[in-house]
Amino acid sequence: MRIIQNNFLAFVIVLTSLIMIEGIGYMNFTYGNLLFLPVGAEIFVYLLFGFRVLPGVMIANTIVGYFLWNSWFGNDLNGFIGHVIIGSLSPLLALYIMKIFNLSNFIDSKLIEYKHILFSIILTALISTLGKFMFFWGIIKEPIEPLSFISSYMVGDILGGAVFIYFAIKILHPLLLRFKLT
């Protein structure tokens, strides 16, 4: 029962972050969004609940991509693979790499290790950006300018991740602890 509850919470948190960016500037596949909050939401739920919330994260990404982003801006299956698969797995891969190199102590004696969280945001942004760039390079109908694509996606993922994680640690995490949802 706990896994269903955690997946539902992950779904709600990621879905909320995806809906929040709808009003923040223009977004398309070639230039991304300069404050992509879902990266932070995904890192937050994976840190909080572990890899078992992957279904909740993927369902939230799929719903928004299909309904709000018009089938990923008309890219259908390719958009699904790029946004949902690469986007949902990038934080997990980053956290796994950090675990291999013993950088996964995010909470040490009840103190949050912000430098490890910040590194996870940067590593996730790098993996996600390069993964999406390599995947979309030959698929998107619009021409992709490599420097613009990589810089806008990196900046958007890092800023969005840092902003979301900051507010999640200050606001959302205490609420989840208070209601014993973690």
Residue range 51-63, pLDDT digits in tens: 999 999 999 988 8
Q: Please provide the size of the chain in residues.
A: 182
Q: Report the greatest alpha carbon distance in the chain.
A: 50
Contact 127, 46 (CB under 8 A): no
Residue range 131-167, pLDDT digits in tens: 989 887 877 777 788 898 899 999 999 999 999 999 9
Q: What was the pLDDT predicted at 83?
A: 80
Q: What was the pLDDT predicted at 66?
A: 76
Q: What was the pLDDT predicted at 128?
A: 94
Burial class (CB in 10 A: 0-12, 13-18, 19+), 126: middle
Contact 82, 75 (CB under 8 A): yes
- Per DSSP, the residues of 35-57 read T-THHHHHHHHHHHH-GGGHHHH
pLDDT tier for residue 108 given thresholds of 50, 70 and 90 = low
Contact 44, 13 (CB under 8 A): yes
Averaged pLDDT for residues 8-32: 77
Domain coverage including residue 22: 2-178
What percent of the chain stands above pLDDT 90? 47
Instruction: Give the residue with greater pLDDT, 9 vs 27.
Output: 9
Q: What was the pLDDT predicted at 80?
A: 73
pLDDT tier for residue 29 given thresholds of 50, 70 and 90 = low
Per-residue pLDDT at 36 exceeds 80: yes
Q: What was the pLDDT predicted at 90?
A: 96
Q: Is 128 left (phi over 0), alpha (psi -120 to 50) or beta?
A: alpha
User: What's the total number of domains in the chain?
Assistant: 1
* Angle (nearest 5°) at CA 114 between 84 and 179: 70
